[in-house]
Structure 1
Amino acid sequence: MRVDPQHVRIRFNILGSLECWAGEARLRLGGPLQERVLVALLLEPGRVVPVARLVEITWDDAPPATAAHQIRKIVADLRQRIPGGAAVFVTDGPGYRVAVDDDQVDLSLFGVRLRRAREAVAAGLPGNAVDQLRAALELWRGRLLAGEGGMLLQGAATSLEERRLTAVELLFELQLGLGEAAELVGDLRELARENPLRETLRGQLMLALYRSGRQAEALEEYQRVRTLLAEELGIDPGPELSALHEGILKASPELAAPRQPTPSGPATAEQRALAQSAQAQAQAAPAPCSLPYDVQDFTGRTEELQQLLAAVAEPATQGTPILAIDGMGGSGKTALAVHAAHRLAELYPDGQISVDLHGFTPGQRPREPSEVLDVMLRSLGLPGDRIPDDLLSKIALWRMTTAQRRLLILLDNAADAEQVRPLLPSSPKCMVLITSRIRLVDLDGARALSIGVLSVPDSLALVERTLGAERVAAEPAAAEELAQLCGRLPLALRIATARLGHRPRWTIQYLVDRLSDEARKLDELASRSRGVAATLQLSYLAMDGESRNAFRLLSLHPGDLDVHSAAALLGTPTFEAEELLELLLDAHLLEQHELGRYTFHDLVRSFAHSLCTAETAAEDGLAVGRLLDNYVLAVEAACEVSFPGRVEFGIELPAPTAALPVFASSDAALAWFEREHRNLLAAVRLAARRGLDWHCAYLPRAFASFLHMQGRAEELLEAGQLAVAASRRLGDRLLLRLSLTNLAVALWQLGRVQEGVDALEQALEIAVEIGDRHGEAACRSRLGAFRNSLGRYADGLRDLEAALLLHQALGSPREEAATLISISSVSALLGKYPAAAEAARTSAEINHKLGEVDNEALALVNLANAHLGLGAYDEALAVLANAQELHRSLHRPGNASLVLARLADAHLRAGRPSEAYDYGLRALDLVWTSGSTARRATVENILGRIHQALGEHVQAQTRHGQALRLAEETGFRIEMAYALEGLGSCAEALGESAQAREHRGRADELFAAMGVPEECRRLA
């Protein structure tokens, strides 16, 4: 079965035999080795599992010599077998991690449901906790990997089994607390037999037997476990079990089953007579059905529908089953509830009653419970003159009338829990479905089902069902874009497709173009009777003035919010901001895909932006200013922790207007950058749109270090370009110098080296002009490195030596050490290995004193390179081992790949091509995630030389050809020369003499132009 990776959700089941599902298709994963590696990663989703650990898990104590290489091949194979595997299996530092959501792995889902159960217990909702535990335990199909796997996996299986039994014990504890007893005995006895030494299970079995009137059997269980513990472990039962035994002997009243509250108070004679009359009327009349029609083209919501149907299938032992469906306006709550109700109707033969509560209906107030009860009692056949006038009497009559019936009741469009509570029947034989735009968190005993937008496949399926398969097939890309522009919201999709249906001359692309205009999108998604804006307006008007104002101001944020950015926008303390965020979340005007992070649906944001008018412009402008000020100060605080010792330029920063995040460590600050870097770039764009040039120019300077460190070159480029333009508009020469320098770094990472040189020359000119000696030194350092990469080594070395003198004079050890790294690199290329070693060694010492681990590792790589040039292979390998150890504490794939590449080179020169190949593949794996085209060229050339050493000349030719293409893209002349030299060697080995001469001739020309000595041209 063919699977489209863009339109399918992958699910993994490991609680039993391993299963991987892509939609409805089960995937083949290969052999047992693939299964063990996959399970090892899925046991710790989101966490990096080192290759060494994967080796240990896969082969226990007897791994083959090529184990690490095989692990990488296995991961590559899994990436091919699983749709979208490149995004699922992420290379990270020394190993791999799987990037999946909780609902994609049954073990993670088990943990989520167990956590919800404990939260329900803490909230005093044992019935909800029981539901969550049952759902969690249904995920278990057996032992991990069905009992297969090595010792470590079996140890994990044992740990998981302990988690399952703990959940089972909690479930029995809750069920006993809810008054169940006899129905639990069978399951408890079976589990106690399987786990004879678990005293908790034995105690629960004894209590269930005692409450079922089987006191003697309960006492026999105690004697049985007492004997077993004495024989097996030489101990007596614990104090809790002994106390329970004593209580059973004495028939202690504390052990009696708890009394459950009755659904309603005692009925009066008149109420009983009314109820009997209603029942008699109902028996004579046909069962009522007032369900709305079920749309023929209902699409998607398969998982949600299954949850609804599964909830009905569960036996109702305590109270009326209540399912509350909540979601934003237009998400299809009513359509889902009606569709489910029609599927369930035959299970409720006494009738199906549907009432619109008008909680969010244009031009209408929410219906009063008394009015709704009157309607429902009449629908059951009770005459109007027999229905009392006061609310309490109506509630009592309703509960008695429904007590013995099997009714399905749909309460649509509820305003809040207070409106719904009086309408609930008392019989566990009834089923109540509720829909609401807000989460009914105050409705005790209700099982909540929050629905969001449709999935991408379901959205496309709805477009196809409403427009017709032929029309969608003619414009598949436009159909997909239409679904995205409609925010995958069912209401928006139906309005859009209805417009197309009534306008056969319109193409899908034509409507897409109209919807792409943000200013008119909501107008396009409206019809005479309904519209997205009108639907959202009702949710908006249901809030108080403070919440409405907060809703508008929060929409000014260009990305996703946290409490700090929300507090800045609102000008409030963070705890007040969080309360407002949670209120909007409950009203489904905000979404939350990650704890502590809030975001707007695209159409909700468009609606909120429509509320920004000329009257609100001044307040909105102040809010944006506070937000940008907050980001400037937060970035500064994060940089102080993550990048201490940065050069200060005396730029005046804004005063704080809201609480800032607190960074206890460098890791915490870097984690914040990781979460916020997209928001920071969006903030720069927002500043540019609003003409806030200082923020637009300064923010990129503040977070450029993080983007550079992470290899996020495209983001760094965009931020740099916006900052340069803003600095020019401001006429601020210092900010322009800083912005040009950062822009040059982005251009370097993208391989646009000559453009980077141009930017740096402009920056250097400004630095000299304004007397910015720190800036002059930084520009000369970078110019030296850039010119070196273009093969202009003499010019580059001159710039670097000038920069070094400036850094030393200014007392800037960090910059001095960085410049020495570049001097070491160019010295080695020119064959000056002793000088290269000395520069690298000095840089490593300075960086070590400063605690600059990353740059210390880079210096050690250059020192190793100098050792290789001198033929000191063992010394080089020792230094590289040290560099690799330093990198284990970092998460810098680009620099880690450089260490691995140099290890590959060292092993190759030492005559160990097999070990070299393993390191080379690992380097290539990492360098693909770093975004550095130049380093990819370096790694490809090293791999090419390794293939040559192994006699694999065709593979070597492919590697060097790839390196040449990459080097030519970036103007990286030294790697171009190495690639051509390698291609010449391959051609000669393959008997292609003319080609060999041509390649080597071009290589010699490049080497000569760069001044590279003859002895440095053939590295291996």
Structure 2
Amino acid sequence: MAKQEGGGLSFHLLGPFEAWSGDTRLRLGGAIHERVLSSLLLETGRTVPVSRLVQVAWNDSPPATAAHQVRKAVADLRRRLPGGSDLIVTQGPGYRSTATTAELDFLEFGEHVHEAARAVADGRHSDGRAALRTALSLWRGRALSGSGSDLLESVAAGLEERRVAAAEQYFDLRLAEGEAAALVADLRDLIAQHPLREPLRGKLMLALYRSGRSAEALDEYRKVRELLVEELGIDPGAQLSGLYKAILREAPELGLDADESSAEPRRTPSETVPDRTHCTLPHDLPDFTGRRHELDVLLAAMTHRARSRGSRRIVALDGMGGSGKTSLAVHAAHQVAAEFPDGQLYIDLRGFTPGEMPVAPGAALHGLLRSLGVPGERIPEDLDGRAALWRAQLRGRRMLLLLDNAADAVQVLPLLPASSACLVVVTSRARLVDLDGAEWLSIGPMSLADGTLLVEQVLGAVRIGAEPDAGRELVRMCGQLPLALRIVAARLRNRPRWTLQYLVDRLQDETRRLGELSAGDRSVAATLQLSFQAMDEEHRTAFRLLALHPGTDVDVYAAAALLGLDVHATEATLERLLDVHLLQQPELGLYRFHDLVRDFARTLSCPATAREDHAAVRSLLGYYVTVTEAACGVLFPGRKASAAAIAPYDGALPPLGTMSGAAGWFDQEQDGLIAAVHLADREGLDREAACLTRNVVFRLNSLGRFNEFRDISRVAVAAARRADDLPLLGVSLSSLGVVCWKLGHLDEGVEAAQEGRDVAAELGDRRTESHAESTLGLLLTVLGRHTEALPRLERALDLERSLDAPQAEVESLSNLSTLYMQWGRYEEAAAAARQALEIHRTLDYRDNHVMVLTDLAFALTGLGAVEEAHEHLARARTLCDVSSPPADVALVLALSADIGERLGRHAVVKGLAERALALAGAGASPTRQAKTENLLGRLHLRRGDVGRALSLHLHAYEIAAAMPYRAEQAHALFGLAAVRTAMGDDKAAHQLRAQADELLRSMDVRVRSAAWCLSG
């Protein structure tokens, strides 16, 4: 089944279970998640009770918490799957999947099988065969292989039976069409999986007999008879025995004649070519595989053109080298040959043939005329004369002309016939835009399913089935390029001791990948080299430099920075590379290398190009620093522009005037920007690395991508040290301190913030000093070192007020409110939050506004003003959207649920709590996650769900203790004590409260522990 385009969901059960969103493989969790989802999908549209899902997940040995774990798995699946809440709906005692036929490969398989049955019943055997071929192509191995569930295995057995039945019908149709020899290998592969299935053995015997291999057919009967006796103690059935006897006497009803005794497939009457026909087409590939969509489009274009009455009929295929254009064109030409009774001519124009010059038009015409039987002495010497004679020879004839491997339109135009009854098919690596009236079809890499099937056709289903994951990874490593796939399949076939995984491991090394993709005269690198050599020097240089870009996609502005051109000249260059299929265009305005093309392009850089390459990278990084600075200015108003540590880029920038435009640019470029920081680090461009990091982390922080934030912050600190640039070092350390708080790396964060503060103080950089002091105060707060944290935050506020930096002041007041709240000083916590809220009236910084409202709600809860806290949280929720940091939103929702429960607004509590828990786990911020899970644990205990409360508080304690976040450790311990009390274990509850009280004393918290716990 093809993955859904445009980001649609698709689920593959005909093989190891897979879920895809467009071209992205989805990670669903663990085995339990996959079993639950598989069960729901297999019964899509029907409600599956939780009890049945428990049995699917654990067979006959479910744990005591099985039902809870199933519900948790469903919640995880809803979060991980795009549109998951709509895909899996709660209904009665269980859940129901709403997946459609287009999303499920086993339903699509069934539709194609039914379509085949209707076609055969109507006498349309070729349509039936095509439908069955499509149905069988959806299988990637045994259905749901490796699921580990007894129930799913029983369902898989039923699906496998349907597969074999469809395969048997498919083989019958092919046998009826005379394809005996081509079937032998396929039948042997399927028999290896089902050795006792007599109908399959019978078809193999018949195929061998009709291929002139009677002895092998009889030996096949001997083997199956011995196997049946040994395994089951029975002899073959009457049908197989009758076939054996018929082969012994060479019964005429078996259909063997002189034509069928050869290894060549028998032609049906519709495929028979009259003797008078001139046919020079190459042989069709016996194992041509996949390309169903492209073949259908091509055949439709060819047959439509054959019926039309235009003055010129041309169908042209273009695509990168190795994409299989010639194989597809030849395959299609054989299928429509009967529509051109006067002949089918083929010529290789050698536009991209190693070691040879393209065929001149005059030479091509000479060869074509001789193919038609024109004597050499009658062929004119000049090009115009030959073209005129060629057109005269074709007048009134219905012929198909396949012009393969064309270099350019100049080579093709003289070969075009004038006759409207002729069809011309052209293949080329470039789109020949001068061929007016041509109907174009661009050929890209194969689909993953087609690529896997191609390798399977060469190696056999058994070998692929033994390593299905490695087989798919091998196809991906080859970029799904047919030439590369045939090369690796040939290597594996000739090396039976090699596993698929072994070759995958060899291909992991990008520096040797192209060397691995060569066999004899066939080489991916050599194929790409021909396309490269066909370009002029300007485009060759551009091709090499573009490969220096560290991201997947590049837009025209970044490309202009790399190439040192203006935007218009750059776009023209990119479009030229696109025309010759050395670049791809995933969407308008973006350009991308095929993986193998990128590998090849990177081999072109060498010591002789090092200076030019380094200058191009420096220019690209300067561009990214300049444009991220501009984008941050739009997205984060009030943010102070960074000092100019590097010269600004003076080329064109993308339009970033609106917040949506700046956010969209960041989202498009984000992974490439992170890669650019590492590129700068590798190239020794230390100032560029640190400056770019300063801007990129602002957006990473707002997206909650804290691990990447930390990684590039560490790179920036090291780069600033190497550059001996104290201002950049202070800023980089300050950023590192922030993300260490987010991730709970508290000791590293304190060290970074202290050093950053000292560096800033030495330089007199009061803005960076204030930020470092505020961050240090927050880190010390989390560590429970309140008396040390307070003066740090007060110092930060003094500096920010003297600098008139309201946004920074708000952040420090928020941190101060957190400190007072955690300290049990609720009035002061509320006062700090109200000050921050008042300043926010003059600011437009949504994420900080959300957290200030939440700070105030926490403080008001501590004071018992829950109604007012509820009002502030309602405002906070209205400010949140999909771009808000997930961990922050989780905290807002968890506190909202807690307060909603206290106020008796039970209808909304469950939904808020579930969303909060899902976001907390996805937010990558353990400090927020511990706080959120403690809130939710307390909520579930009040609602009577003791088991859920226990697991939440335990997990929160583990997270908090690892940092250590002593306040949340204490919250978790109080929560666990309350759970133990509810369970009747007063002794354990007393011990837990004693541990919590000890933590409170270490933090100098002077309110009663019970009141502190309820407020926080």
1:608 equivalent to 2:604? Answer no
Which residue does the alignment assign to 1:806? 799
Counterpart of 1:541? 533
Distance 1:444 1:722, change over 3 A: same
Whether contact under 8 Å (1:404, 1:429) holds in the other structure is yes
Please report how far the alpha carbon of residue 90 of structure 1 lies from its aligned counterpart in structure 2 after TM superposition: 9.8
Matches within 5 A, 1:388-787: 388-392=380-384, 394-399=386-391, 401-402=393-394, 404-426=396-418, 429-473=421-465, 475-559=467-551, 560-648=553-641, 650-787=643-780
> 3-state SS of the aligned residue for 1:850?
coil
Deviation for aligned residue 1:10: 6.5
Task: Within 5 Å, give how 1:175-574 maps onto structure 2.
Answer: 285-312=275-302, 314=304, 316-319=307-310, 321-392=313-384, 394-399=386-391, 401-402=393-394, 404-426=396-418, 429-473=421-465, 475-559=467-551, 560-574=553-567
Amino acid aligned to 2:454:
L
TM-score (norm 1): 0.71
Aligned length in residues: 782
SS in 1 for 2:287: coil
Q: Give the structure 2 partner of residue 57 of structure 1.
A: none
Deviation, structure 1 residue 350: 3.5
Say whether residues 1:905 and 2:901 are aligned partners.
no
The CA distance in 2 between the partners of 1:855 and 1:603, in whole Å, is 45
User: Does the aligned pair in 2 maintain the 1:357–1:367 contact within 8 Å?
Assistant: yes
Whether 1:30 and 2:25 are equivalent positions in the alignment is no
CA distance in 1, matches of 2:998, 2:301: 76
Q: Contact (CA 8 Å) 1:757, 1:786: kept in 2 or not?
A: yes
Distance 2:784 2:399 in 1: 83
Structure 1: gaps spanning 5 or more residues: 12-21, 33-72, 92-99, 106-281
Answer yes or no: is the 8 Å Cα contact 1:844–1:857 preserved in 2: no
**Which residue among 81, 92, 105 is the counterpart of 1:86?**
81
**Counterpart contact for 1:920–1:939, Cα < 8 Å:** no
CA distance in 1: counterparts of 2:908 and 2:620, whole angstroms: 53
Equivalent residue letter for 1:379: S
Q: How does 1:906-945 map to 2 (within 5 A)?
A: 906-945=899-938
Amino acid in structure 2 at the alignment position of 1:1007: L
Corresponding position of 1:1016: 1012
> Secondary structure at the residue paired with 1:841?
helix
The offset of 1:686, in angstroms, is: 1.4
> Percent of aligned positions with the same letter in both sequences?
46
Q: Is the 8 A contact 1:626 1:657 kept in 2?
A: no
Residues 325, 448 of structure 1: 8 Å contact kept: yes
Q: Does the CA contact (< 8 Å) of 1:437 and 1:588 recur in 2?
A: yes
Q: 1:401 to 1:938 in 2, by over 3 A?
A: farther
Which residue type is aligned with residue 86 of structure 1?
L
Counterpart position of 1:973: 966
Residue 636 of structure 1 contacts residue 702 of structure 1 at CA under 8 Å; is this kept in 2? yes
Conserved? CA contact 1:398–1:425, under 8 Å: yes
Q: Kindly provide the amino acid, as one letter, of the partner of residue 322 in structure 2.
A: G
* AA matched with 1:683: A
The answer (yes or no) to whether the contact 2:21–2:82 under 8 Å persists in 1 is no
Question: Partners in 1 of 2:578 and 2:524 — Cα distance?
Answer: 18
User: Which amino acid letter does the alignment assign opposite residue 308 of structure 2?
Assistant: T
1: CA distance between counterparts of 2:419 and 2:965?
A: 78
The one-letter code of the counterpart of 1:666 is M
Structure 1 residues 941-974: Cα deviation after superposition (integer angstroms, max 9, x where no partner): 3332232222222232233333334334443333
Cα RMSD (Å): 3.5
1:847 aligns with 2:840: yes
- Equivalent pair of 1:467/1:501 in contact (CA under 8 Å): yes
Supply the distance in 2 between the matched residues of 1:413 and 1:338 (Cα, whole angstroms): 12
Give per-residue Cα distances to partners, 1:310-369, cap 9 Å, x unaligned: 434558334355332221111222222223333333444433322111111122222233
TM-aligned CA distance change 1:734 to 1:79, over 3 Å: closer
Maintained 8 Å contact 1:708/1:745: no
1:686-730 per-residue CA deviation (whole Å, 9 max, x = no partner) reads 111111122122210122111111111122122112111211211
Q: Deviations over 1:79-137 (max 9, x none)?
A: 959xx96256599xxxxxxxx9xx999xxxxxxxxxxxxxxxxxxxxxxxxxxxxxxxx
| Paired residues of 1:981 and 1:1003 also in contact (CA < 8 A) | yes
> What is the alpha-carbon distance in structure 1 between the residues aligned to residue 301 and residue 21 of structure 2?
23
Are residues 991 and 76 of structure 1, via their aligned partners in 2, closer, same or farther at CA, if it must alter by over 3 Å? closer
Give the 3 Å change call, closer, same or farther, for CA 684–905 of structure 1 in structure 2: same
1:587 offset after TM fit, Å? 0.8
CA distance in 1, matches of 2:343, 2:701: 66
Alignment correspondent of 2:188: none
Distance 1:387 1:975, change over 3 A: same
**Counterpart residue identity of residue 973, structure 1:** R
> SS of the residue aligned with 1:579?
helix
CA distance in 1, matches of 2:332, 2:774: 68
Change (3 A) 1:707 1:989: same
Distance change >3 Å, CA 702–CA 79, structure 1 → 2? closer
Aligned 8 A contact 1:345 1:408 in 2: yes
Change (3 A) 1:78 1:753: closer
2:910 is paired with a residue whose SS is helix
Change (3 A) 1:312 1:902: same
Cα deviations across residues 826-873 of structure 1 (Å, max 9, x unaligned)?
212223222112111111121221222321222111112222222222
**1:28-56 C-alpha deviation (Å, 9 max, x unpaired):** 65379xxxxxxxxxxxxxxxxxxxxxxxx
1:30 maps to a residue whose letter is G
Shift in alpha-carbon separation, 1:996–1:399, aligned structure 2, 3 A: farther
- Contact 1:10 1:104 survives alignment (8 Å): no
Structure 1 residues 833, 487: closer, same or farther in 2, change over 3 A?
A: same
For residue 322 of structure 2, give the secondary structure of its aligned residue in structure 1.
coil
Distance (Å, rounded) in 2 between the aligned partners of 1:827 and 1:297: 74
TM-score (norm 2): 0.71
